[in-house]
């Protein structure tokens, strides 16, 4: 398992505090693995068809939320890899609404999306094992803002918590 501290203010843009403020103190790898079980349990606890119904007009379905989480985690993981390996170029931002619309997650089975989420999480954990403490603090630029691999990795955990709370509260 890999243990490393949460990022400090200044290692990330302030708009990520929404996610970082809700991350509990935990061993990173254990938290990431526990979230795998949590997402499977959440979807398993809901009635058939729940995953395809948005809670309001213009909102994402639970399958779209899951797809968004997968896409975001891939992007954050890629950014962390790039900066940990010394990338000097600024990486682009992304429009999550366009990504969800373009992906058309409704065409994917829930099981395929859950398997994809698990595969992404397992790839994240194998990457984390290769990162030294020093590389976690290498600052890069994403979407025109400075950020570290440490911050990106913890944002993944907080982003998950945020969206699971939304799924529990609104759907």
pLDDT at 22 > cutoff 90: yes
Entry pTM: 0.96
Averaged pLDDT score across all residues of the chain: 96
Architecture of domain 62-171: Up-down Bundle (1.20)
How many whole angstroms separate alpha carbon 8 and alpha carbon 42? Answer: 31
Whether residue 60 has pLDDT greater than 60: yes
Q: What is the C-alpha separation between 63 and 110, in angstroms, rounded?
A: 7
Other Cβ atoms within 10 Å of 168 Cβ, number: 10
Q: Are 117 and 66 in contact (CB under 8 A)?
A: yes
For residues 93-107, give the mean pLDDT: 97
- Averaged pLDDT, 106-121: 98
Predicted confidence at residue 61, as pLDDT, reads 98
Query: Is a pLDDT exceeding 80 seen at residue 25?
Result: yes
Q: Residue ranges per domain, the chain?
A: 62-171
B/e letters for 98-129, b = 16+ CB within 10 Å, e = fewer, are eebeeeebeebebeebbebbeebbeebbebbe
Q: Is the pLDDT of residue 4 over 90?
A: no
- Is residue 96 predicted with pLDDT exceeding 80? yes
Q: Is 1's pLDDT higher than 70?
A: no
């Amino acid at each position: 398992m890999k243990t490393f501290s949460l990022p400090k203010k200044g290692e990330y843009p302030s708009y990520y505090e929404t996610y970082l403020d809700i991350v509990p103190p935990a061993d990173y790898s254990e938290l990431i693995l526990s979230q795998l079980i949590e997402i499977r349990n959440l979807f398993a606890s809901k009635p058939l068809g729940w995953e395809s119904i948005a809670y309001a007009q213009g909102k994402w379905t639970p399958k779209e939320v899951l797809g968004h989480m997968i896409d975001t985690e891939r992007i954050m993981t890629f950014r962390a890899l790039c900066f940990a390996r010394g990338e000097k170029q600024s990486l682009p931002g992304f429009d999550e609404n366009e990504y969800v619309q373009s992906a058309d997650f409704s065409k994917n089975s829930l099981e395929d999306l859950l398997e994809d989420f698990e595969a992404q999480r397992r790839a994240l954990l194998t990457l984390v094992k290769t990162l030294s403490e020093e590389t976690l603090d290498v600052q890069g630029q994403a979407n025109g803002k400075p950020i570290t691999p440490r911050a990106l990795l913890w944002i993944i955990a907080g982003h998950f918590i945020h969206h699971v709370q939304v799924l529990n509260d609104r759907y």
